[in-house]
Amino acid sequence: MNFLDRMMVISKREAEERKRMLPVENLERLIDDRPAPPSFGAALSRKGGVLKVIAEVKRASPSAGRIRGEVDPYSLVDGYRRAGAAAASIITCGRYFEGSLEDLKSASNVEAFPILRKDFVSNPYQVLESRAFGASSVLLISDALEEKELKRLIALALSIDLEPLVEVHTYDALAKALFCGAEIIGINNRDLKTLEVDLSTTERLIRHIPEGFAVVSESGIKTSDDARRMEMLGVDALLIGEALMRAEDPERALSDFISEIILRSCANAGSQPDLVVRRKPK
């Protein structure tokens, strides 16, 4: 069994355990008591401006091991907000990543700031959890879900004011995501089956995404040169985790990174070459 399949099994089992302690009706009451979250999709819109950044809280990963020990999700996410991030990503998976739903709950207390819940989501209960614990968006992995499941989870998310980020790594997964109604596409440069990273994945897939869809490039983006490459491909936002979490001061590291993006964008204003990839009309 590859890594992705194994994690989907683990995550589903953990969700079933949580469901026994916090039934669906309890989640629905929590959702009813929460106002609509800030829009994740609106936060990612470039509208002719510079690249947006989704900054991640990531204690550990299967490929890198422990990245950062003690983490206060609220303080870290509030720092990301001050540094200019458009949104934050919270990994809630415990196995290999050392995350939890409490991290999501804490981070969602940062006022008017959209939060993406990242986990290996396979069922409606996890989507409801995401909204109940304060997320604006939930990650759905197209490669890991059957067409009927993906369509159902996207529809459920939208019905409770979540704007799902549908992650793809292959053309078939992208075609499935678009057919099932995804509006925000995350291109993961990391193959979750082998854990290998290749930034050219974004270049291969973005040409097949019509204009009008928000596109996020995920994994492997570490330098302003990487960011410039993604900008020239027409990407709307970058999801960055490990590079920030390894920094002595993540807020300062993010602020410097965003400043570099802005400076390079301004320097190229008026003389910016054509996009490397032309996307087809929606």
Active site residue ranges: 56, 58, 118, 167, 188, 218-219
Q: How far apart are CA 218 and CA 165, in angstroms?
A: 11
What is the 3 state secondary structure string of 208-228?
CCCCCCEEEEECCCCCHHHHH
* Angstrom distances, CA of residue 197 to CA of 86, 123, 194, 242: 24, 27, 9, 13
Q: Both tokens of residue 280?
A: 């087809």
Query: Is the separation of the CB atoms in 192 and 163 below 8 Å?
Result: no
| Residue 239 host element (H or E) | strand 237-240
Query: Residue 262: which residues within 8 A CB-CB, separation 6 or more?
Result: 50
Q: How far is CA 276 from CA 95, 167, 170, 198, in A?
A: 38, 22, 20, 17
Interatomic CA distance for residues 278 and 240, integer angstroms: 24
Q: Look at strands 60-61 and 65-66 and give their pairing.
A: antiparallel
